[in-house]
Amino acid sequence: MASFGWKRKIGERVSKVTSQNFEKESADEAAGVESDEVDWLHAIKRKKELLLEDNMSKSQRLKEEGALLAQSGRHWEAIKKWDEGINLTPEDAALYEMKAQSLLSLQEIFPAVQAAETAVSRNPQFVEAWQTLGRAQLGLGEIGMAIRSFQIGIHMCPSNMELWDEDLKWARQLLQQKKEVEAAEARERNQTGFSIEQALIPDYDFESDEVVAACDAISRIQKAVTAGGKKIVVSSSGTVTNEEPKKDNASTSGDQELFIKAR
């Protein structure tokens, strides 16, 4: 009778060398998988870097093309180029500043202010952006704000003589002229006692309670004397008199009129 014994476990007969080779191959495969993951992540990162570099190079090319168009007076075409560059690199303050300059040349003052404000928000240390913003603000008549923008630019770059001699000096002259005009108008008001606006015909309120009451009183008096064939005369002083109408043979005998004169 055959004796009973436990079944050997799977792999029990596998040699030690075979087992070691298997473990080594498994470790190499795991390392290969990890290496593939690292390479995959690195490839994505590298792809983003290349895309960013490509956008920056395209934006730079569009910036230069727009500058050439603006120099030849083709400002709308230049703005289109710079807008394309802004779509690629929206943080580039120079694109907004150049766009603001062309908008000023086209007398598009409010959009120029917006573009220049965006430029200084993207790069607060951009001196030329503050200068362009000040010029756009002068176009809107905001002299005080323009002087502040010029002063900020001078504070960052005191050696910029264009800001000193042209922009800030001109803005201060405009401010002085504005003060002189306002002072002259104030003196004229003090001398005449009223301004030009006050000299115009006043705006009467024909629906006020006083006017309505006066009209109602005249109407009631008119109705009261209509049957007697009398004429109502309301003088400027407010007195009311009744007068007998004069008969005119040439006129029709059956018609009588009521004349109301008020002032």
Selected residue with higher pLDDT from 43 and 13: 43
DSSP string, the chain: -PPP-PPPPTTTTS-HHHHHHHHHHHHHHHHHHHHHHHHHHHHHHHHHHHHHHHHHHHHHHHHHHHHHHHHTT-HHHHHHHHHHHHHH-TT-HHHHHHHHHHHHHTT-HHHHHHHHHHHHHH-TT-HHHHHHHHHHHHHTT-HHHHHHHHHHHHHH-TT-HHIIIIIIHHHHHHHHHHHHHHHHHHHHHHHHSS-TTTTSPP---TTSHHHHHHHHHHHHHHHHHTTTTPEEEE-TTS-EEEEPPPP-TTS-TT---------
Q: pLDDT confidence of 103, banded at 50, 70, 90? A: very high
Query: Do 79 and 153 reside in the same domain of the chain?
Result: yes
Q: Is residue 31 part of a domain?
A: no
Is residue 69 in some structural domain?
A: yes
Q: Is residue 17 part of a domain?
A: no
Tens digit of each residue's pLDDT (9 = 90 or more) over 163-210: 999 999 999 999 999 999 999 888 888 887 655 555 554 555 556 677
| Among 192, 224, 252, residue at a domain's last position | 192
Q: What's the domain count of the chain?
A: 2
pLDDT for 125-149, tens place per residue?
999 999 999 999 999 999 999 999 9
Query: Are residue 187 and residue 61 in the same domain, yes or no?
Result: yes
Q: What distance lies between CA 110 and its chain's CA centroid?
A: 7
Same domain, 184 and 211: no
| Tokens 């473990």 -> residue | 23
Q: Which domain holds residue 249?
A: 204-263
Q: In this structure, are 151 and 223 located in the same domain?
A: no
The predicted pLDDT at position 192 comes to 72
Q: At residue 262, does pLDDT exceed 50? A: no
Residues 75 and 182 in one domain: yes
Q: Are residues 183 and 214 in the same domain?
A: no
67 and 134 share a domain?
Answer: yes
The pLDDT of residue 263 is above 50: no
- 180 and 137 together in one domain: yes
Residue 53 burial (10 A CB sphere; 0-12, 13-18, 19+): exposed
Instruction: Of 163, 104, 159, give the one whose Cα is nearest residue 128.
Output: 163
More confident residue, 38 or 123: 123
pTM of the model: 0.56
* Interval 100-115 mean pLDDT: 96
What's the CATH number where 177 sits?
1.25.40.10
Same domain, 127 and 218: no
Please indicate, yes or no, whether residues 218 and 102 belong to a single structural domain of this protein: no
Q: What is the pLDDT of residue 143?
A: 95
For residue 101, the model assigns a pLDDT of 96
Q: What is the pLDDT of residues 65-74, one digit of tens each?
A: 999 999 999 9
Yes or no: say if 37 and 70 are a contact pair by the CB < 8 Å rule. Answer: no
- The string of pLDDT tens digits covering residues 30-49 is 555 454 444 656 656 666 66
For 211-236, the pLDDT digits (tens) are 677 777 777 777 766 656 655 555 54
d(CA 95, CA 89): 9
What token pair was written down for 243? 């007068």
